[in-house]
Amino acid sequence: MKGKMKNLLCAGAVAALLVWTVHTILKEQSPGQLAAALLSADWRVLLLSLPLMALFLCCEAAATWSILRSLGCAQPFRRCAYYSCTGFFFSTITPSATGGQPAQILAMGRDGVPTASGALDMLLVTIGYNTAAMIWGVFALFTAAPFTERLGGQVGLLLGVGLAVFALLDVAMLLFLFLPGPARRLLYACIRLGSRLFPRLDREALEAKADAHLAEYRRGAQLIQRAPSLLIRVLGLSALQLACSYVMPYIVYRAFGLSGFSLGQVFALQALCSIAVGYLPLPGSAGAAENVFLRSFLLIFGESLVAPAMILTRTLSCYLVLAVTALILAVGRTLRKRAAVAQPPSEPAPVQRPNLSKRTAPPLGGYADRT
């Protein structure tokens, strides 16, 4: 019941934000003006987004390929690309991207990857992604410093909270990874405090769950000790992955024939916008991302083009990729079903019927001996 209520509240929030976004767009421009602006974009320039978003998916696939190989359960790159598509699709359609990693671990399990190895892969990919986001965020604060003053109070507040959340998560994950002793004491102290404030909490269950997560982090630390360059490789791939996404507004900017702002400035502004909405519990940050874009990129595109630029940017970096990954998952599922049907069933082992003509004593090691 609580899960259904949470989904309904999330869907309602997304719908309200999208309605507000459409209202904001149509208040400034008629549908005809909006269509004319969209058609004025140079589609040859927009086509550059296709290989970039393909590279976006391949970066995570390459990170997963490297991690699974180090864990001794290597998978072909095409399967790792399938896991990346799975993660993008389910992360986009679920609140706070909560469905992406479980779906990826499940997909890996179908290919024989142990659940513990899949979970460790997701842990290292998440650490690389969050760390890369923080690095790009710090870079953006220096590069787009003049723009941050014009973002407005609401966007500025979201940006500040987003940076704080990303920094806190990143520090916590690195602490659990490299300093498990202090991390365990800190985690147990938080659980004790929470159980005092909320007596209904099951302290023992929370501590058991904390120990399970810490064991996973210990496995990650051991893997990094065996392959020190692995985390650096994952971090580099995550930084490249995010760069492919952050460059989308500049492609749209050039498609409209605009100039005056550099790639670094537009790139940095998009990085800040992504951090501002990345922690919100909305599927794909739908609604919030559009509104933040309209406010933040008004200076870049102007009043007449900011709405068309938002539509193109979100379509190229999110909705088009969502449709492509959905198609890939549907094709993969169909091929898997066909392969299962085409595989001949294994012959059952012959059944040995007991000889009832004479009674025998139970063999040693039977149920009577398992005490």
- Res 327 pLDDT > 90: yes
- Contact at 8 Å (CB) between 244 and 260? no
Residue 29: which H helix or E strand, with range? Answer: none
Helix 2-28 × helix 288-296 angle, to 10°: 30
Q: How many domains does the chain have?
A: 1
Question: What is the per-residue pLDDT for 68?
Answer: 93
Domain with 98, as residue range(s), is: 40-178+229-337
Contacts of 270 (CB under 8 A, 6+ apart): 245, 246, 247, 248, 249
Kindly indicate the confidence band of residue 352, based on its pLDDT and cuts at 50, 70 and 90.
very low
* Whole-angstrom distance, CA of residue 231 vs CA of residue 234: 5
pLDDT for residue 278 is more than 80: no
CA distances, 80 to each of 67, 103, 146, 216 (Å): 11, 13, 41, 21
> Which residues have C-beta within 8 Å of that of residue 171, sequence separation ≥ 6?
none
Rg (CA), the chain: 25
Digit-coded pLDDT (tens) for 48-59: 999 999 999 999
Q: For residue 285, is it within any domain? A: yes
Closest CA to 67 of 107, 118, 110, 127: 118
Cα 199 to the center of its chain, rounded Å: 34
Average pLDDT over the chain reads 80
pTM of the model: 0.80
d(CA 319, CA 326): 10
Contacts of 326 (CB under 8 A, 6+ apart): 89
Let me know if residue 319 belongs to a domain.
Answer: yes
On whether residue 344 sits in a domain, the answer given is no
Residue 54 lies in a domain: yes
**Ramachandran category for residue 97: left, alpha or beta (phi over 0 → left; psi -120 to 50 → alpha):** left
**C-alpha torsion 178→227→139→284, nearest 10:** -80
Q: What average pLDDT does range 290-316 have in this prediction?
A: 87
Query: What one-character DSSP code corresponds to residue 95?
Result: G
The answer to the question of residue 148 being in a domain is yes
Separation of CA 321 from chain center: 13
- What pLDDT does residue 361 have? 35
Work out the end-to-end distance of the chain between its first and last CA atoms, rounded to an integer number of angstroms.
43
What's at 116, amino acid-wise? A
User: Has residue 24 been placed in a domain?
Assistant: no
Let me know how long the chain is. Answer: 371
Give the C-alpha distances (Å, rounded to integers) separating 210 from 114, 129, 264, 354.
Answer: 21, 22, 41, 50
Q: Give 100-156 pLDDT, tens digit per residue.
A: 888 999 999 999 998 888 888 998 999 999 999 989 988 888 887 676 666 655 666
CB atoms within 10 A of CB 175: 15
The CA distances from residue 40 to 35, 48, 258, 309, 365, in Å, are 9, 17, 12, 11, 81
Is 211 within a domain? no
